Amino acid sequence: MVQLILSLLILSGMGGVLALLLELADSYIADYGEKHILINDEKDLVVKGGNPLLSTLGQEGIFIPSACGGKGTCAYCKVKIQEGGGPVLPTERPYLSPEELQGHVRLSCQVKVKEDLKIEIPEDLFLVKEFRVKVERIEDLTPQIKGLHLKILSPEEGFTFKAGQYVQLEVPKYKLTKGREYRAYSISSAADKRHELELVITRVEKGAVTTYVHDYLKAGEELRVMGPFGQFYFRDSHRDILLIATGSGLAPIKSILHQIEKEQIQRKATLFFGARTGQDLYYQEELRMLETAIPHFTYVPTLSRPTEGEQWEGERGRVTNLIEKYIEENADLDVYICGAPAMVESCVELLTKKGIPGEHIFFDKFE
Amino acid sequence: MVQIDSGTLFFAAIFTNNILLTNFLGLCPFLSISREVRSSLGLGAAVVFVMTCTAVINYLVYYHVLLPLNLEHFRYIVFIVIIAAFVQLVEMTVERYFPALYYMLGIFLPLITVNCAILGASLFLIIRNYTLTQSLAYGAGSGIGWMLAITAVGAIREKLQKSAKLPKGMEGPAITLLITGILALAFMAFSGMIHMRAK
């Protein structure tokens, strides 16, 4: 008995000594002190060295996309490292193309911060943050589309985004899913409202997140949102503005219209909104209000299949018909298109044929 | 003590009693890293270093700590923990002070913490009653033998990749195991020349 306890004690002691040794080594040998990370030649971070770049940036609130959690298998966390970072590791090589190797692209989960680094990351990742939100209200916009009104609980300073961008909405595990799931949704609320978010969510048959939002989500529930993301946002120019949307594609367009209203932009603006029947039109009051509030804005809804019962006096046909009808050849326009991929593609094709240059056409396809 | 002298033991561990090809230890990293000569050499060198050092450390711990305390039956656990801690320490040191070496060998170090050839070598030297010098020779020899085997297979696989067209089912581990088997047959021809076990 004494022998047993004694041997256990000695064994634990040996383990303890080794653990202490490692702990000491960790704080003396693996201590790289403070290192600087210069991002995009403007932002200078002072961080504790020795850890992978991905997690170091995460602690500083800069979220590089990563699906595998830093194990070096998903290759989402690519970052351009201009100075420092050492040679490319065998663990990264399989994921980098020859062009990327030339361009100093690395996997940020594999590169450790052991010296001062100079890196380059897409500008919009700076602003990507994680937010806790509370569901204020769920609104039926059409039989298939719900409007989700969210209130930002944390961080306190709220949400900064450009009108037109999207967020990732995460829903918890429920009957249809194996774990937490997230999907991208465009923001329809105004960009200057920093503590409110409004998302427009169309029901997708068997869609993990849309089903949750449509059938399970209740007001008062707390969720997680990450963002903002996306290159689809309102650009400053002197040209007239054409906005085209179908279905939930109206969401980012509405946010853009809020910006035009707030800034009292004097450019001429037109919105073509395509729906199937009168029932599928939504945000009608808001859009009519914006029509009076914005100096030169015209709202043109069009129905592709108005039912017999409804007395529709507006435009008929698809949004492409409106382009044919109203847009002149070589018009000086900035075009923003958002909605189903097929609609976006046929609009872009038509507009290009009308002589509108590609760099003036911005779009977001909702897959 | 044993009649076999350290020099003979060193060569025996490399050629006639190769730890990989006659004891089939350390097969897991062997199968996954032996795709090309360069990484085979890197992993092999890391194994040589760790095996030599841990053989000596474990010898000292066994005879100067475990035996006097009557804890020799705990040698499995103690050896594993010592090897793991040693590899960790070496990795940290190399990463900090020898960056060039780290990029060549260091990244393989975590892979061999759980390499059973290393534990095997430490256990063999106890079972076979080696002296300290013999343990050193055996540890180094086994490490070099392991490196030799993985480099040989790495070279063959590299060559195969370039020239031979393998049936789908034979790719990867299948062909590697076959090559290893044939190599092992060749190496086994030498076994029995030298008796490794101490009397």
Mean pLDDT for B163-178 is: 86
Range in A68-77, A100-109, B116-125 the model is least confident about:
A68-77
Among A3, A29, A89, the residue with its CB nearest the CB of B92 is A29
Residue A260: pLDDT band with limits 50, 70, 90: very high
List the single residue in B with minimal CA-CA distance to A32: B96
Chain A positions in Cβ-Cβ contact with residue B33 (cut-off 8 Å): none
A113-141 tens-digit pLDDT? 888 999 998 877 777 888 999 999 999 99
Give the confidence band of B162 by pLDDT, cuts at 50, 70, 90. Answer: confident
- Number of domains chain B contains: 1
Q: Is residue B143 part of a domain?
A: yes
CB contact under 8 A, A90 and B107: yes
- B70 pLDDT higher than 50: yes
- In sequence order, what E strands does A92-234 have? 105-107, 117-120, 129-140, 145-154, 166-171, 181-186, 196-202, 222-229
CA distance A22 to chain B (A): 7
For residue B96, which residues of chain A lie inside 8 Å, CB to CB?
29-30, 32
Does residue B24 come out as left (phi exceeding 0), alpha (psi in the -120 to 50 range) or beta?
A: left
The winner for highest mean pLDDT among A42-46, A351-355, B102-106, B192-196 is A351-355
Q: Cβ–Cβ contacts within 10 Å for residue A21, how many? A: 14
Percentage of chain B exceeding pLDDT 90: 31
Full-model pTM: 0.56
Reading across the β-sheet that carries A240-246, which strands appear in turn? A315-316, A297-303, A269-275, A240-246, A333-339, A361-365
Residue whose structure tokens are 């004690």:
A9
Parallel, antiparallel, or unpaired: how do β-strands A297-303 and A105-107 relate? Answer: unpaired
ipTM surpassing 0.85, yes or no?
no
Task: Give me chain A's average pLDDT, please.
Answer: 89
> In A, residues 66-125, which contact B (CB 8 Å cutoff)?
86-87, 89-91, 112, 114
Distance, in Å, from the CA atom of B9 to the CA atom of B7, rounded to the nearest integer, reads 5
CA distance A39 to A44: 6
Instruction: Specify the pLDDT at position B134.
Output: 92
Average pLDDT over residues B45-54: 91
CA angle, residues A351, A356, A359, in degrees to nearest 5: 110
Looking at mean pLDDT, say which of A340-344, B110-114, B172-176 comes out highest.
A340-344
Q: Is residue B14 part of a domain?
A: yes
Q: What percent of chain A has pLDDT over 70?
A: 99
Does residue B50 belong to any structural domain of this protein?
yes
Note whether residue B194 is domain-resident.
Answer: no
Domain containing residue B37:
6-188
In this predicted structure, the answer to whether residue A98 has a pLDDT above a threshold of 60 is yes
**Which domains, from first to last, does chain A contain?**
34-125 (3.10.20.30), 128-229 (2.40.30.10), 240-365 (3.40.50.80)
**Domain presence at residue B127:** yes
Does B196 map to a domain?
A: no
Q: Is the pLDDT of residue B107 over 70?
A: no
Q: Please report whether residue B198 resides in a domain.
A: no
Mean pLDDT of A316-327: 91
B1 in any annotated domain:
no
Judge whether A149 and A139 are in contact, CB under 8 Å. Answer: yes
Q: Give mean pLDDT, residues B18-45.
A: 85
